[in-house]
């Protein structure tokens, strides 16, 4: 498994869960669920019989699992640094961290694994917030940044917003969030961030012919991340 973690790569520009993440988490779950059978084999192979007896078989496997998980997190972070789109980078980290959290959750009765699950949950929330900040928050600035008026005295704020929204939507509709629950949470977070501000702007500025009604925009956003 440690060899698999060395120099792992991902197809350029994908938000999907890395195949090594799936493999490593499957391996970790196998270790944790079969420690009583496997720990004599592992300890003899690694020359760790004394350590296993001192710490107990389960504790040794917990430590091993946490070390592998930490190594995987570091490698995924390195991979993400090559992504040209910061939104895609944080979505990739979000997807992979959430899968790691979910797989470890099954073994959460152990205190050390509970701590790692809590840390991964914190990372998931942080990656989601960073994703929203880099991908969707900039769209809202189009509505409130000072913008020049066109020749006929109309603000260009709404056309700018609509143009940037269309670009973002077209790109990110093709990005993938494979977990249905996480996909729903992410769509809801985007809708909660965009729709109230957009609705208020349209109403306050008495925009009679916006390209998207608030309801149409909401329905569009609910189509994101199908891949």
Taking every pair of Cα atoms in the chain, the longest distance, rounded to a whole number of angstroms, is: 83
* Cβ atoms 72, 5 nearer than 8 A: yes
- Work out whether the CA dihedral 65, 66, 71, 73 comes out positive or negative: positive
- This prediction's pTM: 0.82
Residue 106 or residue 185, greater confidence: 185
Q: At 177, list the tokens.
A: 């969030």
Residue among 200, 136, 189 at smallest CA distance from 167 = 136
Which pLDDT does position 153 carry in this prediction? 46
Q: Is residue 227's pLDDT more than 60?
A: yes
Q: Is residue 92's pLDDT more than 90?
A: yes
* Distance of alpha carbon 127 from alpha carbon 177, whole angstroms: 13
* Cβ atoms 212, 163 nearer than 8 A: no
Q: Is residue 40's pLDDT more than 80?
A: no
Angle at 51 between CA 46 and CA 52, to 5 degrees: 80
Burial of 6 (0-12, 13-18, 19+ CB in 10 A): exposed
Residue 191's pLDDT band (cuts 50, 70, 90):
very high
* Distance of alpha carbon 1 from alpha carbon 191, whole angstroms: 40
* Distance of alpha carbon 181 from alpha carbon 176, whole angstroms: 13
Q: For residue 221, what is the DSSP state?
A: H
Residue among 13, 138, 175 at smallest CA distance from 84 = 13
Coil vs helix vs strand at 11:
coil
First to last CA, the chain: 29
* Cβ atoms 139, 161 nearer than 8 A: yes
Which pLDDT does position 38 carry in this prediction? 55
Residue 41's pLDDT band (cuts 50, 70, 90):
low
Coil vs helix vs strand at 151:
coil
* Distance of alpha carbon 148 from alpha carbon 128, whole angstroms: 33
């Amino acid at each position: 498994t440690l060899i698999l973690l060395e120099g792992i790569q991902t197809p350029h520009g994908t938000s999907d869960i890395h195949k090594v993440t799936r493999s490593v988490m499957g391996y970790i779950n196998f270790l944790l669920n079969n420690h009583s059978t496997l720990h004599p084999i592992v300890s003899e192979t690694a020359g760790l019989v004394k350590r296993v007896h001192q710490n107990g078989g389960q504790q040794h496997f917990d430590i091993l699992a946490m070390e592998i998980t930490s190594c995987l997190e570091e490698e995924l972070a390195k991979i993400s640094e090559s992504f040209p789109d910061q939104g895609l980078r944080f979505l990739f980290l979000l997807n992979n961290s959430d899968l790691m959290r979910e797989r470890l959750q099954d073994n959460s009765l152990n205190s050390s694994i509970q701590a790692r699950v809590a840390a991964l949950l914190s990372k998931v929330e942080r990656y989601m917030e960073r994703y929203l900040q880099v991908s969707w928050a900039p769209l809202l600035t189009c509505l409130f940044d000072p913008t020049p008026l066109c020749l006929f005295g109309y603000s260009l704020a709404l056309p700018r917003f609509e143009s940037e929204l269309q670009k973002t939507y077209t790109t990110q509709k093709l990005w993938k969030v494979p977990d249905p629950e996480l996909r729903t949470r992410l769509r809801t977070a985007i809708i909660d961030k965009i729709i109230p501000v957009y609705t208020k702007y349209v109403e306050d500025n008495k925009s009679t012919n916006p390209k998207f009604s608030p309801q149409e925009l909401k329905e569009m956003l609910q189509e994101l991340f199908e891949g």
